[in-house]
Structure 1
Amino acid sequence: MFGTSGIRGPVGSEVTAALALSVGRAVASEDYDCVVVGRDVRKSGAVLVDALTAGLRECGADVLEAGVASTPTIARAVARTDADAGVVVTASHNPAPDNGIKLWSASGKAFGPERLAAIESRVGDDEYDLQSWDEQGSSEPLADATDRHAAALREAVTVADPPSIVVDIGNGTGGLTAGVLSDLGCEVTTLNGQRDGAFPGRPSEPTRETLGDLSALVAATDADLGIAHDGDADRMQAVDETGAFVPKDALLALFAREAASDGDTVAAPVGTSMAVDDALAAVGASVTRTRVGDGFVADRAARSDVVFGGEPSGAWIWPDETPCPDGPLAACKLAELVADRGPLSALVASVETHPIRRTSLEVADKNAVMDRVRDRVRERYDDIDALDGVYVDLEDGWFLLRASGTEPLVRVTAEARTATRAERLEADAVDVLEDAIAAGSNPERESDRDADLLAPDRP
């Protein structure tokens, strides 16, 4: 039921008011007695919040209603109000027909696997602690959540020479960013600033391909940089003063290098570029890799030696500020960096990048294929990591084979210090994957192979 980022799917089929009611009942039945609830701008969110709140209150939980707000605003409010949990009705960067539900712990960090499993079990078993008429929970508005978030952002950075910034809000909840940057003295122009859950300005996910208007506007003006959010503003991507999209791994390297010093550690998922390792090595810091998903990065960022956590998708975590990916905070940090260190294009150019190759193959049974991939990789290579997919670390590069979380695909990523070597590693990884796929369509071939492996040496 819960993926790496909560529940997400099409409204009316996978995501329904009945599901929201059940999740609300399950959360309250797990003894989360006070819960902050909010949503993004999608029209369907109003119905889902009503159902979710009814389920919470029906099982005795008191609800603090944050209304329409960014996901990091709601996550921060959980810790600030001493609530036991938070629930955001959002599909984040997914398209308009989707919606979803994401759960937050008392610290403002996403629910981990054990807590999610407990909720999923209750929903699956239809097992709830329904309360009598005089024991049901209350509901009251939490009107200051966005203002308190804005105040925290203003305190988190110092922008001595405020740059000119274009903020592409993406018709979502990221308007907070424009207001705070303006308060910090920046000259701010907004794009797609009207809240609209149909996302008419561009697709909700900010990528090189979807940020053409932002790039063009920055390039045509005197702006020093452009910033873009997804629908619930937990993500942030950027373009430099020339209008060029900032490569995701380069942005991760810049944030990591600025946050870390000698002996520090940065958390990032498997598949993160060696550019981040190189940038951190220059300041005496290192990378610890996690499973893919901002929740896993946040878990690792909770360790005392980790000063920053980032996922190239645009989720950036400064654990001393908040354990939730905070797009508005990332925007303020980037404005501070440009004000202190100069043009963003020059900062990006200072990050040494390496050739990286990506492809994917469609498969009928991802889990079975990945089981066979793991067997084959262990036979061929010594230094492997099966934390999330299969990651093979070689002296001059690496490759990763990982099943998609949402599609019938296995994705292949390879990186090396030369283009020729990256191509070779990609070809080797694809060869392993194709062999594993073929074995699934030819069981006799797999049986013969297993017999060969188990047979005693012949003279």
Structure 2
Amino acid sequence: MSLMISVSGIRGVVGKSLTPENLTAFTMAFATWVKRRKQALNPGSQSKPKIVIGRDSRPTGGVITGLVSNTLALCGCDVVDVGMTTTPTVEIATAGEGADGGLIVTASHNPVEWNALKMLNEKGEFMNASDVEELLAIVEKGSFDSARWDEIGSLTANGSWDAVHIERILKLSCLDRDLIKSMNFRVLIDAVEGAGSFIVPELCRKLGITEIKTLACEGTGIFPRNPEPVEQNLRQTMEILARESCDLGIIVDPDADRLALVCQDGTLFGEEYTLVACADFYLKHHKGPVVNNLSSSRALRDIARKHEVECFSAKVGEANVTEVMKEKGAAIGGEGNGGVILPELHYGRDALAGIALFIQAFAEWKSETGGTLSGFRKTFPDYFMSKKKVELEKLTKEALGTIFDTVAANHPEAECNRLDGLKLDFAAGWAHLRPSNTEPIVRIYTEASTQEEADALAASFIEEIATVAASLTEG
């Protein structure tokens, strides 16, 4: 298995694709990139670059953080270690510390044997594609900047940023903690033993939730199930919530940048609807465009129309979404995987911000109707998605482009978008075909008014792609 490299950093299996050698190489390259960027932004600056580092709860996180921190110091960078915390907290800390960059030791929703370095610029935001190209060029050439013995950086710790993150959320003007407290919510929190284990319950207490039951919130880093917060991995949590008679369930992934919600009857609120519900609430207080990615539900578009604002779609990936959000001046945005981005706080997916907005939205609706969370879910447009993939071995990018051209030509009735693979918008649904950056597959996302229609649409495109690919191979 090879090392995976993207705009969010590098990731791999510890001891296999993620080794001390490549961790050191990419850390030195990042330190070099940060130094050069600092000089470009502040010509003549004599101060050492400052880099914030944090990690999730994985057992390998501590030793990797130690290796990376000491490597950064030997490259002449001052390092501020914010400890075990969430990805959005490190993003906030990077900007708040006035740092020149940030690193998060986390493999997000990947299994426990994985780890990664997520890389941030001085704004606490993910590097863009051109930044990554610069970094890779530094790695390729081995042109690292190191420091003399008397110029090495310092190592300090600052564990205060969890509290700062919570406090900034509590200061959002759209929140009414007295109302939330009056609802007497009984809430189940499942942090899958990740970085959200302590900060998520603390946020909920500060929001005014009176009764909190925790599940997998000890921060051990030994995930009791597949940590990706999707339905097939959450069935036990959903059963426990229904059995405990909770009003809602809050589930985050290991680095707490994605949020899943469970209704009182044990049904999933729907990962696509985390952003939809938060946007519907937030737009009542802050008008402005909304942004999602091309693989996200049409429901956000419907909410935008309701509030008479525009909805824009970006290429898949947090960095791509934030770029469009800045360009369009979006009030709120995110991705359909439960990622909510609130510029009022920072430009990064933030499960904690999503929790606060969602609980406030539900509290307001419940105070008027007395209804349950499953009833609240029914107030939103109803769409169903299918997510499939088709393997395409030994096909070049050019051949894949030909396949997409042919498929698009076969559907003149659809609106065609080639920004990120091929997106076909039909009157009653859509299909998004995206090549994987790491595997010889094409991911197929479809949406329709029923699950059966979404599944059938996906199946038809799997067959169509296979047919076109076969004709190219035979030719």
Query: Counterpart of 2:176?
Result: 158
Cα deviations by residue, 1:124-181 (Å, 9 ceiling, x for unpaired): 2111111211112111112212121122222233231332211111101112010121
SS in 1 for 2:443: strand
Q: Is this contact kept in 2: 1:366–1:403, CA < 8 A?
A: no
1:331 has 2:362 as partner: no
Residue 366 to residue 280, structure 1, CA distance change in 2 (3 Å): farther
Q: Is this contact kept in 2: 1:16–1:48, CA < 8 A?
A: no
Q: Is this contact kept in 1: 2:282–2:357, CA < 8 A?
A: no
Residue 365 to residue 278, structure 1, CA distance change in 2 (3 Å): farther
Query: Counterpart of 2:117?
Result: 101
1:434 has 2:466 as partner: yes
Query: Counterpart of 1:454?
Result: none
Query: Counterpart of 1:219?
Result: 242
The correspondence for 1:208, drawn from 220, 226, 231, is 231
Alignment of 1:225-304 (within 5 A): 225-260=248-283, 264-303=288-327
Please tell me the residue identity of whatever aligns with 1:52: V
User: Quick check: 238-247 or 17-26, which moved more?
Assistant: 17-26
Please tell me the residue identity of whatever aligns with 1:164: R
The correspondence for 2:373, drawn from 337, 341, 344, is 344
Please tell me the residue identity of whatever aligns with 2:229: P
TM-score, normalised relative to structure 2:
0.87
Please tell me the residue identity of whatever aligns with 2:315: R
Query: Counterpart of 1:308?
Result: 332
Cα deviations by residue, 1:62-84 (Å, 9 ceiling, x for unpaired): 11111211111111100111101
> Which whole-Å CA distance do the structure 2 matches of 1:356 and 1:239 have between them?
18
Query: Counterpart of 2:42?
Result: none
Please tell me the residue identity of whatever aligns with 1:173: A
> Which whole-Å CA distance do the structure 1 matches of 2:240 and 2:451 have between them?
33
SS in 1 for 2:231: coil
Please tell me the residue identity of whatever aligns with 1:322: H
Residue 101 to residue 253, structure 1, CA distance change in 2 (3 Å): same
> Which whole-Å CA distance do the structure 2 matches of 1:422 and 1:71 have between them?
33
1:24 has 2:27 as partner: yes
Cα deviations by residue, 1:15-62 (Å, 9 ceiling, x for unpaired): 122222222211221215110011111121222212212221222111
Query: Counterpart of 1:392?
Result: 424
> Which whole-Å CA distance do the structure 2 matches of 1:191 and 1:167 have between them?
6
1:71 has 2:87 as partner: yes
Query: Counterpart of 2:369?
Result: none
1:373 has 2:389 as partner: no
TM-score, normalised relative to structure 1:
0.90
Cα deviations by residue, 1:193-219 (Å, 9 ceiling, x for unpaired): 1112221x2221112122223212221
Query: Counterpart of 2:6?
Result: 3
SS in 2 for 1:47: helix
Q: How many residues align?
A: 442
SS in 2 for 1:167: strand
SS in 1 for 2:171: helix
Q: Is this contact kept in 2: 1:366–1:409, CA < 8 A?
A: no
SS in 1 for 2:291: strand
Q: Is this contact kept in 2: 1:23–1:55, CA < 8 A?
A: no
Query: Counterpart of 1:457?
Result: none
User: Quick check: 120-129 or 88-97, which moved more?
Assistant: 120-129
Q: List runs of 5+ in structure 2 lacking aligned partners.
A: 39-48, 367-371
Q: Is this contact kept in 2: 1:373–1:432, CA < 8 A?
A: no
Cα deviations by residue, 1:318-337 (Å, 9 ceiling, x for unpaired): 11111111112211222111
Q: Is this contact kept in 2: 1:267–1:310, CA < 8 A?
A: yes
Residue 203 to residue 356, structure 1, CA distance change in 2 (3 Å): closer
Query: Counterpart of 2:142?
Result: 126
Q: Find runs of 4+ consecutive structure 1 residues off by over 4 angstroms.
A: 417-425
Query: Counterpart of 2:128?
Result: 112
> Which whole-Å CA distance do the structure 2 matches of 1:355 and 1:203 have between them?
23
1:50 has 2:66 as partner: yes
Query: Counterpart of 2:43?
Result: none
Alignment of 1:344-363 (within 5 A): 344-363=373-392
How far 1:415 sits from its partner (Å)?
2.6
Cα deviations by residue, 1:72-131 (Å, 9 ceiling, x for unpaired): 111110011110110001101100110001011222211111112211211121111112
Query: Counterpart of 1:147?
Result: 163
Q: List runs of 5+ in structure 1 lacking aligned partners.
A: 445-459
User: Quick check: 424-433 or 100-109, which moved more?
Assistant: 424-433
Q: Is this contact kept in 2: 1:168–1:190, CA < 8 A?
A: yes
The correspondence for 2:192, drawn from 158, 170, 175, is 170
SS in 1 for 2:419: coil
Residue 69 to residue 101, structure 1, CA distance change in 2 (3 Å): same
